[in-house]
Amino acid sequence: MSVSLQTGAHLGILAVSCAGFFALALATERHAEHLLGRLPALRWRMLVRTAGWLLLAVSLAWSIDALGTGIGIALWLGWLSIAALAWVFMFPLWPWQPPARAYPPRKEKASPSEPAPAENTRTRRMVAAGLLAVTMAGFSLALARVEVQPLKHPDVMQGAVGPWSFTFAEADRGVPEIMEMDVPMKEYHLRFCEVCDSEIRQAYLKVNKPRSARAVGMGFMGQNWTRRVEIPLPSTTQANSELWLTVVGKDGTVHQTTLRLSQASPATVVWFDEQRKDHASY
């Protein structure tokens, strides 16, 4: 998911949350009369109450789909807070204000206190509005720093191995990580379709064609949609190198497919070319 799509998702979640709270407000007698200038029928208020909860559920599902379960729920709660706080400040500015209620006169105290000056009330409102703006700005900056999951990038690789479709991506778009003995390593993520995942026993990945059925590479860890593996990259890696994906089904069948390394990890290919140039210049 690109930055623009991610920003659009956040704004959409906020907009749907605001609409849900608006519908829930219309479902109450007090706020419905405030917002519409009249009290709607009970059946109508029950319908908008149902619509309000459905909109909040849609915003939650959207957040989880765009950001994942953990981050999605946490950020959804944050957007709910901002949406509710925004309506708190909108109600006093709504064109149709409810009529002032008549209260019985209070008994005067011996020494009545002076009413708060209007300037103090205005100052408090400005401070509250400023705090709301700062909160929204800080929350937006935090959202901008949230990394998009590798398998949700728009340029992920999609394909099929045997009867199973999959989505494939590198964990990060940077250069390989140098481990002990100066061995470059790279992590990849793999996700099969929901039905496919239940039919797969194991998946393996390596650079270049396996020499035998026992040397098919490193096995992916994890299951239930997302699998990941970290593999070593040989020094002979170049643009035309291929990643060999080997998948073993629960029925014992074995299927293989290839992925061009130049498409799966373009920064890695460039890094190996630069390493060879540096060695050649010595």
For residue 154, give the CATH number of its domain: 2.60.40
The answer to whether residue 113 is domain-embedded is no
State residue 165's pLDDT score: 92
Q: Are residues 87 and 197 in the same domain?
A: no
Q: Are residues 208 and 251 in the same domain?
A: yes
Number of domains making up the chain: 2
Closest by alpha carbon to 79, among 12, 152, 8? 12
Show the domain range for 244. 150-281
State residue 119's pLDDT score: 65
The answer to whether residue 78 is domain-embedded is yes
Q: Which structure tokens are listed for 175?
A: 């250069």
The answer to whether residue 241 is domain-embedded is yes
State residue 277's pLDDT score: 83
Q: Are residues 159 and 277 in the same domain?
A: yes
Q: Are residues 45 and 73 in the same domain?
A: yes
The answer to whether residue 120 is domain-embedded is no
Q: Are residues 20 and 140 in the same domain?
A: yes
Q: Read off the pLDDT of residues 132-184 as tens digits, 9 standing for 90 and up.
A: 777 777 766 666 665 567 777 777 889 999 999 999 999 888 888 888 778 89
For residue 229, CA distances in Å to 20, 190, 268 come to 41, 8, 16
Closest by alpha carbon to 175, among 268, 239, 83? 268
* Model pTM above 0.85: no
The answer to whether residue 81 is domain-embedded is yes
Task: Give the DSSP letter string of 58-120.
Answer: HHHHHHHHHH-HHHHHHHHHHHHHHHHHHHHHHGGG-SSPPPPPP-PPPPPPSSPPPPPPHHH
Q: Are residues 134 and 171 in the same domain?
A: no
DSSP state of 221: B
State residue 144's pLDDT score: 61
Q: Are residues 167 and 253 in the same domain?
A: yes
**Residue at which a domain ends, from 115, 144, 173:** 144
User: Cα separation of 212 and 116, whole Å?
Assistant: 85
The answer to whether residue 118 is domain-embedded is no
Q: Are residues 31 and 156 in the same domain?
A: no
Q: Are residues 41 and 12 in the same domain?
A: yes
State residue 89's pLDDT score: 80
The answer to whether residue 185 is domain-embedded is yes
Low-confidence ranges of the chain (pLDDT < 70): 1-6, 34, 94-120, 139-148, 223-224, 281-282
Q: Are residues 7 and 132 in the same domain?
A: yes
Q: Are residues 249 and 140 in the same domain?
A: no
**Residue at which a domain ends, from 144, 178, 205:** 144
Residue ranges of alpha helices (H) inside 95-208 are 118-144, 194-197
